[in-house]
Amino acid sequence: MKIRKRKKQYKIGICTECKVREGDSSKKKLYKCPYCEKWFCEKHIEPRLTITRSAIERIKDPVLREKVYEEWRKEDGHPDYIWTRQYFENLEIKEREEREKVWKALDKLKESKEISPYTESSEEFPEEEIRDITPKISFSPPIYNKKIEERKVKRTKGHSIANILLVTIIITTLVIIFYLYSSYRDLYNNYQTLFSKYNELNKKYDNLYIDYQNLLSDYSKLNSEYSELSSNYKKIKERYKNLSYDVVRFYDFLYSYVNLPESFKRVLNENAINKTSKAVIEAGVVPFDLWYSIQKIYEYIVNNIQYAKDIEMPYISGYWYVTYEKENYTLNFYNEVRTIGEYIQSPELTLKIKQGDCEDQAILAYAMIKYYMKYVNGIDYDLYLAEIEFSNSSHVSVILPVEGGKICIIDPAGHYLTNSFGRITSKEVFSELQAYSDYWSESVGPIEYITLYKINVSDGSYSLIANGTIIQIANIIGY
C-alpha cells in the first residue's frame, strides 16, 4: 500500500527513524504520514506492519501467512499500528467475500435436481413392439417373456446402484463441507482472538511509543545538557590544569627566593653576572693579576655594601596534588601560606640598594669574580659557593680552590679573607678551614657542616662538589 506524497507538504527536521535505527541526526525533508500523522523522511514514510514473527507463525492459512510475511519483511518505512489495523481489516473483508462465494456455490448445488448416471435408453423396444415382431403362433412365447423380465430386473438394479452412489457422493460432500466449515470457524475464532490480542498489544505499543517519544525528547534534552556540561568540564579542567601549573611555578618562584641552590638560575646566570661589569671596573681590577683583582673585588664589597637582614617573604612549605590522566592537579598546601625572614637578592639588586646579608654579598662576590675571570682575565678558574652551618645558624661565603691542595676563602659579609700580612693568598685546606671555624667560634660557634656548590654561570645550573665536616671536605678537595 503506497502513500502519495505531495511535493509542497513537507517540513525540515530530524527523522526519528533515522536517528534511532541509523544514528542519523541530520535535518532533511519530512513528510506527514496520513495514518499515524507523524513526520518521516522519504525513506521511512511508507508504513510497515507492527506484528511479531510468532504472531505470523500462528496463521494456519499458508497463503495468507506468506502474504503477511511478504509485507512484514519490508525493510524501509516506519512501524504504524493504525495502518496495520486497516491492513488486517481489508484482509478480513476479502476473506468474507470469498466465504460468501463458497456458500452461494453450495446453495446452488442443493437446489439442483438429482440426476442419475443411468437413464432409460430410447433404443429399447417397448413390450408391445416386441410382441408385434414375434411370430404369430397360437401359443404364448415364454422365452421372450423371460428376457423382458430379466431386462426389467437389470434396469431396476442399475437405478438402485446409481442412487446409492449419488447419495454417497452427496453425504461425502456434506461431510467435507462440514469439516471445512468447522475448520474455517476455528480459524476465524482464532483470528478474532488474535486480532483482539493484537489490538491490546497495539494499544500497549501506542503507549510505549508515546513513552518512547517522550524518552527520546528527554534524551535529546539531556544529551544537549551533557554536551554543554562536557564542554564546560573540559574548559574548567584546562583552567584547573593551568592553575595547577601556575601554583607549581609560583611555588618554585618563591622557593628560589628562600632556598640557596634553587636561587642559582635566577641570580647566577649570564645576564646576572654581566650586570656587575660596572662594579668590577670600579673595584680597580687589572687583567693580568688574578689575586690582586680578587682582593680589590673583596674590598669593594666590604666598603660599599652594608650588612642587612632579609625582609619577610611569603613562603609555602609544600602542596598536595593528585595525578589524573598523566597530569598533576594541585589540591591544597601542607600548611597555611606564611612568611619567612629570607630573601636571596640578585647581584644587581644588592649593588643597587647597597645592602644585603651573607648570601647576598657572597653571591655578589661570586658573580663579580666570575665576570672578571671570563671577560677581563680571560681564564675561567673553578670557584665554589660554600654554605656553612653552625649549631644554631648558617652562613655563606666563596672558596677559590688552588693547585697543591690549597684554598682561598672570600667572605665579605664576615670580613674574612685568606691573607698573609694583609695580602690575599692561599693556604692548606684543613688548616685554613679550621682557622675559619675558629674565627666564628666566639660569636656563633665552630663550623659543623659545609656544602660546596659549583655554578655554571651560563644558565645557573650547578653541581654538588662536596659536603660534610671540615675533615671530610679537606679529604675531598685537599688532594
Q: What is the pTM of this model?
A: 0.55
d(CA 26, CA 141): 111
The angle at the Cα of 305, spanning 300 to 311, to the nearest 5 degrees, equals 155
Chain centroid to Cα 421, Å, comes to 79
d(CA 409, CA 243): 45
| pLDDT tens, position by position, 97-144 | 777 776 777 666 656 544 444 444 444 444 444 344 444 434 344 444
Average pLDDT over every residue of 369-394: 95
Average pLDDT over every residue of 24-50: 87
Average pLDDT over every residue of 134-160: 54
The answer for 445, left when phi > 0, alpha when psi is -120 to 50, beta otherwise, is left
d(CA 310, CA 66): 99
| Residues 438/382, Cβ–Cβ less than 8 Å | no
Q: What local confidence, expressed as pLDDT, does residue 142 receive?
A: 46
Enumerate long-range contacts of 394-397, CB under 8 Å, 24 or more apart.
395/358, 395/440, 395/444, 396/260, 396/358, 396/359, 396/362, 396/363, 397/358, 397/362
| pLDDT tens, position by position, 408-427 | 999 999 999 999 999 999 99
Is the predicted pLDDT of residue 269 greater than 90, yes or no? yes
| Residues 47/68, Cβ–Cβ less than 8 Å | no
| pLDDT tens, position by position, 432-449 | 999 999 999 999 999 999
The two beta strands, 306-307 and 27-32, are unpaired
Q: Which domains does the chain have, with CATH numbers?
A: 10-115+147-240 (no CATH), 259-477 (3.10.620)
What residue type is 412 in one-letter code?
P
Percentages helix, strand, coil for the chain, rounded to the nearest 5?
A: 55, 20, 30
Q: What local confidence, expressed as pLDDT, does residue 110 receive?
A: 59
Which of 249, 195, 170 shows the shortest CA–CA distance to 59? 195
Place of cell 601542607: 334
Average pLDDT over every residue of 261-280: 95
The C-alpha cell at 88 is: 488486517
Indicate the length of the chain as a whole number.
479
Per DSSP, 376 falls in state I
The C-alpha cell at 89 is: 481489516
Task: Using DSSP, state whether 466 is helix, strand or coil.
Answer: strand
* Residue 252 binned pLDDT confidence (cut-offs 50, 70, 90): confident
The C-alpha cell at 436 is: 675559619
Is the predicted pLDDT of residue 169 greater than 70, yes or no? yes
Q: What local confidence, expressed as pLDDT, does residue 416 receive?
A: 97
d(CA 271, CA 281): 17
The C-alpha cell at 98 is: 470469498
Nearest-10 Cα torsion for 230, 232, 235, 238 = -60
Q: What local confidence, expressed as pLDDT, does residue 418 receive?
A: 97
d(CA 412, CA 61): 115
Is the predicted pLDDT of residue 362 greater than 70, yes or no? yes
Top pLDDT among 68 and 303 is at 303
Residue-averaged pLDDT of the chain: 84
What residue type is 160 in one-letter code?
S
